[in-house]
A and B are shown apart, each in its own frame.
Chain A
């Protein structure tokens, strides 16, 4: 096993497009790192640079102690799971898994043992003689993972492996990937644009935007203390509400005619400064008339266990998540939030205050 260390890695394509700019972070040995961000943020490019499928324009990538910048993908001791699985259509499931080992000159008995072991772990033993096209999406996904497992690599790389599956299967495979990674203990780097996958799978979460790292940390820390407005808006579903506010004093902000208390320790600014106030929909609650901020109801979405109330506070759109049955019946109501739930951001730099 090995750690993966990126130092000031950048990628500039022919024509000057900067896909990745000066990214540095370390994935500790045996941990599960998820790169998440909107499409075009450079997360896939970064993964492909670790894999060796893209050349590295600047900086170094290390796997363990070894700088791998100029090492061929096959010699980097990695395995990759692709979005469309990239199984060889003309080979049986067995051959798909064995191909890489054969190319390395692994003894035949060893190949058989490893494929059998992987097939057992992934429960694809009955399909070993089939062709990929005779398998369902979930089974193909397993074969792709099997191909990665049999190589016993230092690092697993996943490039949006679940995005071709239907919603139910995606949840199931997500759990399986996590379980598998835990039991094998192989360092993994996983790219996704799905923030639920990102939150649930990662030990280390890297949020990327426009070729740069926005924040790195434990997923729960990123959720609780997003460093930028981007991270705040990206993690969490439904997304965080952002309301324009003005600082009244160190413990109070005014929003849309009312005021909300800010928890001690929350960064704030001098009185009169305009700030962006972020509040998660699940942190808002309905207040008694006269006690909170007035919200005009637009419509209500039923999610079964909860309801999403979409409304407006002044001009700003707002979403509130409440338990089913708690949604107000009128066309306006008042909301409140606990002081700890408020995140203040500088509107100019978008950084957390």
Chain B
């Protein structure tokens, strides 16, 4: 009796978890399978669960040619745009946040508290809320359809600033003093000591911010109109909505799979640092 109960108690959590995995993984599986069939198969209302034979063709057409009737740009360009945007956003956010946290924590300047609270308040104003004024400013500065316009408004980041501020405050004051005595000025201390100590935090943040940048939809939709500036997230959306042609589902699926790859790769590559950055408390 007791043993049977024990066995059930052990199996049940696994069943729950497996169900969860299945729910998450099934759409991904469908996308993988969908990309391997001829365009006519899905268009006819079938959704096969076994792979077809058109995989190479689908990916080739997606990456190099693009679905000619809708987006006009190959997915390769979109991937590059998305990657550039996500990289600039992640790196930019980290650089700006590091410097502003450094200023707020280590320097006594007039209105330091005010500056800190203003940064803090922007937490309550994400892009979606301030989208009209931000668009107006970007347009007036002539940033429409440029990479700068795409990334700059998304770079200012209160979250990362706060995170680095918290981290910097745990760095012992004596380390600053030792640096002073060792003849390191403020920026030298920043680069020689603070940056290396923030390495794992930066890695964790980079992963999160890269995915944040990669998944941007609303802002790129507004700021870019040129086809060669399109990001992959918008590209997928445009491929689906067609008024005068059949949606090429196999290419949409292939594009979706391709869109998933870079964030997955980033997570895998930075996994070790990422986890350490989230859990590490030792200084």
Chain B contacts for A103, CB-based, 8 A = 182-184, 188
Q: Which of A78, A88, A133 contacts B181 (CB 8 A)?
A: A78
The answer to whether B193 and A74 have CB atoms under 8 Å apart is no
Of the listed stretches B97-105, B154-162, B171-179, B243-251, chain A binds B171-179
Q: How far is the CB of A271 from chain B (nearest CB, A)?
A: 56
Interface check A83, CB cutoff 8 A: yes
Q: Which residue of A lies closest to B188 (CB)?
A: A103
Contact residue range for chain A?
Answer: 20 to 34
Q: How far is the CB of A102 from chain B (nearest CB, A)?
A: 9
Q: How far is the CB of B203 from chain A (nearest CB, A)?
A: 14
The answer to whether B180 and A90 have CB atoms under 8 Å apart is no
Q: Chain A 49-63, CB within 8 Å of chain B: the 1/0 string? A: 001110000000000
Chain A contacts for B196, CB-based, 8 A = 90
The answer to whether A99 and B182 have CB atoms under 8 Å apart is yes
Q: Which of B178, B193, B283 contacts A80 (CB 8 A)?
A: B178
Interface check B3, CB cutoff 8 A: no
The answer to whether B183 and A86 have CB atoms under 8 Å apart is no
Q: Which of B174, B181, B182, B197 contacts A90 (CB 8 A)?
A: B197
Interface check B282, CB cutoff 8 A: yes
Interface check B227, CB cutoff 8 A: no
Q: How far is the CB of A247 from chain B (nearest CB, A)?
A: 51
Chain A contacts for B182, CB-based, 8 A = 74, 99-100, 103, 147
A86-B172, A103-B188 known; A74+B183 contact, CB < 8 A: yes
* Alpha-carbon distance A100/B196, docked complex (angstroms): 17
* Alpha-carbon distance A87/B183, docked complex (angstroms): 15
Q: Which residue of A lies closest to B193 (CB)?
A: A88
Most buried by A among B180, B182, B282: B182
Q: How far is the CB of B202 from chain A (nearest CB, A)?
A: 13
**Interface size counted on chain B using CB atoms at 8 A:** 18
Tell me which residues from 127 to 177 in chain B have a Cβ below 8 Å from any Cβ of chain A. Answer: 172, 174-175, 177
Q: Chain A 63-102, CB within 8 Å of chain B: the 1/0 string? A: 0000000001111001110111011111000000001100
Interface check B228, CB cutoff 8 A: no
Q: Chain B 198-215, CB within 8 Å of chain A: the 1/0 string? A: 010000000000000000
Interface check B57, CB cutoff 8 A: no
* Alpha-carbon distance A89/B192, docked complex (angstroms): 11
Chain A contacts for B175, CB-based, 8 A = 86, 88
Interface check A168, CB cutoff 8 A: no
The answer to whether A82 and B184 have CB atoms under 8 Å apart is no
Q: Chain B 258-283, CB within 8 Å of chain A: the 1/0 string? A: 00000000000000000000000011
Chain A contacts for B180, CB-based, 8 A = 52-53, 72-74
The answer to whether A82 and B183 have CB atoms under 8 Å apart is no
The answer to whether A82 and B193 have CB atoms under 8 Å apart is no
Q: How far is the CB of B126 from chain A (nearest CB, A)?
A: 34
The answer to whether B183 and A89 have CB atoms under 8 Å apart is no
Q: Which residue of A lies closest to B199 (CB)?
A: A90
* Alpha-carbon distance A73/B179, docked complex (angstroms): 10
Q: Which residue of B lies closest to A80 (CB)?
A: B181
The answer to whether A74 and B192 have CB atoms under 8 Å apart is no
Q: Which of B177, B188, B199, B282 contacts A82 (CB 8 A)?
A: B177
The answer to whether B181 and A74 have CB atoms under 8 Å apart is yes
Q: Which residue of B lies closest to A85 (CB)?
A: B174
Q: How far is the CB of B189 from chain A (nearest CB, A)?
A: 10
The answer to whether A80 and B177 have CB atoms under 8 Å apart is yes
Q: How far is the CB of A90 from chain B (nearest CB, A)?
A: 4
The answer to whether B184 and A83 have CB atoms under 8 Å apart is no
6 A-B pairs with the lowest CB-CB distances in the bound complex, closest first = A74-B183, A100-B182, A86-B174, A103-B183, A86-B178, A90-B196
Known: A53-B177, A74-B184, A88-B175. 12 other contacts (CB 8 A): A51-B177, A52-B180, A53-B181, A73-B180, A74-B180, A80-B177, A80-B181, A82-B178, A84-B174, A88-B178, A89-B283, A147-B182
A residues apposed to B, CB below 8 Å: 51-53, 72-75, 78-80, 82-84, 86-90, 99-100, 103-104, 133, 147
17 CB contacts below 8 A, A to B, read A51-B177, A52-B181, A53-B180, A74-B181, A80-B177, A80-B178, A80-B181, A82-B177, A86-B172, A86-B174, A88-B178, A88-B192, A100-B181, A103-B188, A133-B282, A147-B178, A147-B182
